[in-house]
Structure formats: structure tokens, C-alpha cells
């Protein structure tokens, strides 16, 4: 284990530089009222000693800390990791650190868990991902605890200071509109879980597009999953067992779209010749399966970056973007319908 030599403190720096603690503190905090010579002297000592201010002590004195939390209960690993990357991108070079905490949104202790997470580490702010973010109680809890928060959503959840959101509904409407113009009239849907706003928005986009062309979503061509591959697989089997089969299926996320593809290939269907599949998310899995998935790209990383900025610069929260555009990415899993 070796040398546990105590790290140099502000006192060591002060002593060696022949100045007071306060002066060192001024140097650390870039105070303007300081003689250049003094500043250089202190800076030199800091460098020589390899001094790094103790963040715990700073946090104590400043009555705030530098931890940003990420709360999620999301079956989509790639999405969560993209979020982490986006947040860290914004936090790079600052003294903030990212603390993660998956929760169970169905647990009766959800709120206790979140409260505990925030209070225990005295978090400075948290970013909440869907579906947890769709729960208004969570926002209330944060406000009550005096913890800054930003929610990620697919529809209006809160005011701009506290959200980053994307236009799922419109994007889906446009993507489905294209399918219809390509000749598809019988379109199935593997929906997201009931009660998820993102699921409702995406389904609404689908229905709006259908309606605009005088079409509709037959009940038997709709089944819902919970955004996991397995649930999507079950839903896909159900929808594909209908007669006549749909010529296209829109799945509420890529994971479930991959499951639709899986089920279709398993039944010997040719994709996209016999079945077009449209996903949502643009996660790597979509690009990696064969045929590669047409999907709606959601700027998750950029949203996370913006969210982190809002959290660490609360006074300038409004300057950072809140509304993001999702857009269609066409790949090989969709094709015009040839009756």
C-alpha cells in the first residue's frame, strides 16, 4: 500500500510561501485584489507541493458541494451511458463529479430512496431520466429538499429551468407519414408501457399520422411492452400473429424494434420485403442488427449535456437549450410497400 503521507493542506502552502491562509485562499479562488508577486509566489509553492484543495472542507465551508446525481430506472443501457457521457462532457474541467443511482420506479420506497440519495450526499443537483422523470412528485420532492433538478422528457413536464425535452410526437408523425406515403396502410404498433408519457407521445404521433391519411390503428395490431427486448418480443409475436399481417410495425424504442425483427426473422419473414420495421432512439443495437433499423434519433447526449449545464450554472440555466429535435434516420429495415 505504501506511503500514506498526508496530503499538503492550505496551511502548509501558507507557511512555505510565508503568507496567511487567507492569501492562499485568495489565490485558489482567483481573487482580483492580490499583488501579482504574491500570487506568483503562492502559485509556485502550490505547484511544488502538488497541493489540491480538499473538496470536503470546501464543501463544508461553502455550505454546498460539487456532486451532481443521475437518477434512472431505465432498461436501456446505451441510453443511460450516453447520458452519463453527455453530463460528464459538460462537467469536464469543473470541480463537479457525477454520482449515479439507479432506482426502482415500482418500489414503494422510490421516494424514500431518492430523498435518501439527495440528503445523504447533500447533492447539488440531480438529472432525472424517464420514466422516473415523468413523476411530478419527484420534482416536488427535489424542490422541498432544496435540490436543483432537471427532468428529461418527451413532453412538457415543467418549466424550462427544470427540463430538457424532445419533440417525439412530431418526429414519429413525420416518420410514419413517410411510411404511409410509401404505401403502407396496415401499420402495427408495439407500444411502450402504459403510464409512460414517452409511450403516449410516440403512440400519439403514430395515430396522428394515420388519422391524417384517414387510417387508424386497429386494436389487434397494437400490443405493449415495457421497453425491454423480452417484452417487445412477446408483443411482436402477438401483433405478427394477426391476419392479415401488418406490412409495417412501429416499435416505441429500438430495443423492442430489435425484438420485432427477431420475431419476424424467426417466423421466416423477410425484412423489409414483407415487413417494414421502424424503431425509436437510435441506439447502437439498431445500427448493428441486420437489416439495420430505421429509427428516430433522439439527441440524448446533447440533452444530457444541456441538463448538466443547467445544473452546474443555475443562474444561467435558461441560456441552455431545453427543446431538442428528434429526427428520422432511414436505414434498411423499412421499404416501400409492394402489395
Partner DNA sequence: TCGTTTATGGTAACCGGTGTCAATAAGTCT
Partner DNA sequence: AGACTTATTGACACCGGTTACCATAAACGA
Question: Does the protein bind DNA through residue 100 (CB under 7 A)?
Answer: no
Per-residue cell: 86: 453527455
One of 261, 275, 293, 304 touching a second copy (CB under 8 A)? 261
**Total residues at the site for a second copy (CB under 8 A)?**
51
Applying CB under 8 A, which part among 11-19, 41-49, 256-264, 299-307 lies near a second copy? 256-264
- Is residue 255 within 8 A of residue 76, CB to CB? The reply is yes
Phi-psi map region of 54: left, alpha, beta (phi>0 left; psi -120 to 50 alpha):
beta
Task: Note the residue count of the chain.
Answer: 339
Applying CB under 7 A, which part among 55-63, 87-95, 225-233, 260-268 lies near DNA? 55-63
- Is residue 180 within 8 A of residue 213, CB to CB? The reply is yes
Question: Does the protein bind DNA through residue 21 (CB under 7 A)?
Answer: yes
One of 44, 48, 57, 241 touching DNA (CB under 7 A)? 57
User: 219 φ, ψ to 5°?
Assistant: -55, -40
Between CA 193 and CA 228 the distance in angstroms is 10
Question: Does the protein bind DNA through residue 64 (CB under 7 A)?
Answer: no
One of 136, 266, 270, 319 touching a second copy (CB under 8 A)? 266
CB of 25 vs DNA, minimal distance in Å? 3
Q: What DSSP assignment string belongs to 6-27?
A: PPP-HHHHHHHHTS-HHHHHHH
Between CA 227 and CA 244 the distance in angstroms is 26
- Is residue 225 within 8 A of residue 274, CB to CB? The reply is no
Between CA 137 and CA 274 the distance in angstroms is 45
One of 55, 170, 177, 237 touching a second copy (CB under 8 A)? 55
User: 196 φ, ψ to 5°?
Assistant: -90, 125
Question: Does the protein bind DNA through residue 61 (CB under 7 A)?
Answer: yes
Q: What is the 3-state secondary structure (H, E, C) of 241-281?
A: CCCCCCCEEEECCHHHHHHHHHHHHHCCCCCCCCCEEECCE
Nearer to a second copy, 96 or 201 (CB): 96
Applying CB under 7 A, which part among 36-44, 67-75, 219-227, 302-310 lies near DNA? 36-44
- Is residue 277 within 8 A of residue 294, CB to CB? The reply is yes
**Residue 104 interface partner, choices DNA, a second copy, none, CB cut-off 5-8 Å depending on type:** none
Binding site for DNA (CB under 7 A): 6-7, 9-11, 18-26, 28-29, 33-35, 37-39, 51, 53-54, 57-58, 60-63
Binding site for a second copy (CB under 8 A): 1-5, 7, 52, 54-57, 59-60, 65, 67, 77-78, 80-82, 84-85, 88, 95, 97-102, 119-122, 143-144, 146, 229, 255, 258-259, 261-262, 265-266, 284-285, 287-290
Amino acid at each position: 500500500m505504501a506511503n500514506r503521507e498526508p496530503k499538503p493542506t492550505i496551511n502548509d502552502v501558507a507557511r512555505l510561501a510565508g503568507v496567511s491562509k487567507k492569501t492562499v485562499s485568495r489565490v485558489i479562488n482567483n481573487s482580483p485584489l492580490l499583488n501579482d508577486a504574491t500570487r506568483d509566489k503562492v502559485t509556485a509553492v502550490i505547484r511544488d507541493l502538488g497541493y489540491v484543495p480538499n473538496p470536503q472542507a470546501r464543501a463544508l465551508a461553502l455550505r454546498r458541494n460539487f456532486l451532481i446525481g443521475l437518477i434512472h430506472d431505465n432498461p436501456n443501457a446505451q441510453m443511460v451511458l450516453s447520458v452519463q457521457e453527455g453530463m460528464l462532457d459538460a462537467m469536464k474541467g469543473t470541480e463537479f463529479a457525477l454520482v449515479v443511482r439507479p432506482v426502482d420506479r415500482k418500489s414503494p420506497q422510490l421516494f424514500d430512496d431518492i430523498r435518501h440519495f439527495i440528503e445523504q450526499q447533500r447533492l447539488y443537483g440531480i438529472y432525472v431520466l424517464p420514466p422516473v422523470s415523468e413523476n411530478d412528485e419527484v420534482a416536488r420532492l427535489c424542490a422541498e429538499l432544496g435540490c436543483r433538478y432537471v427532468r428529461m422528457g418527451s413532453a412538457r413536464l415543467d418549466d424550462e429551468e427544470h427540463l430538457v425535452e424532445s419533440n417525439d410526437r412530431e418526429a414519429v408523425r413525420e416518420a410514419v407519414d413517410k411510411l404511409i406515403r410509401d404505401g403502407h396502410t396496415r401499420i402495427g404498433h408495439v407500444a411502450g408501457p402504459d403510464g409512460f408519457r414517452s409511450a403516449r407521445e410516440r403512440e400519439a404521433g403514430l395515430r396522428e399520422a394515420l388519422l391524417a391519411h384517414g387510417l387508424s390503428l386497429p386494436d389487434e395490431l397494437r400490443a405493449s411492452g415495457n421497453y425491454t427486448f423480452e417484452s417487445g418480443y412477446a408483443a411482436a409475436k402477438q401483433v405478427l400473429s394477426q391476419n392479415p399481417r401488418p406490412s409495417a410495425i412501429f416499435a416505441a424504442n429500438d430495443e423492442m424494434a430489435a425484438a420485432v425483427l427477431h420475431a419476424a426473422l424467426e417466423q421466416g419473414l423477410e425484412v423489409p420485403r414483407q415487413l417494414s420495421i421502424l424503431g425509436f432512439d437510435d441506439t447502437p443495437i439498431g445500427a448493428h442488427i441486420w437489416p439495420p433499423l430505421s429509427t428516430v434519433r433522439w439527441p440524448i447526449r446533447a440533452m444530457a449535456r444541456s441538463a448538466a449545464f443547467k445544473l452546474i450554472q443555475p443562474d444561467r440555466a435558461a441560456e441552455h437549450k431545453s427543446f431538442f429535435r428528434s429526427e428520422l434516420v432511414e436505414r434498411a429495415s423499412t421499404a416501400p410497400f409492394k402489395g
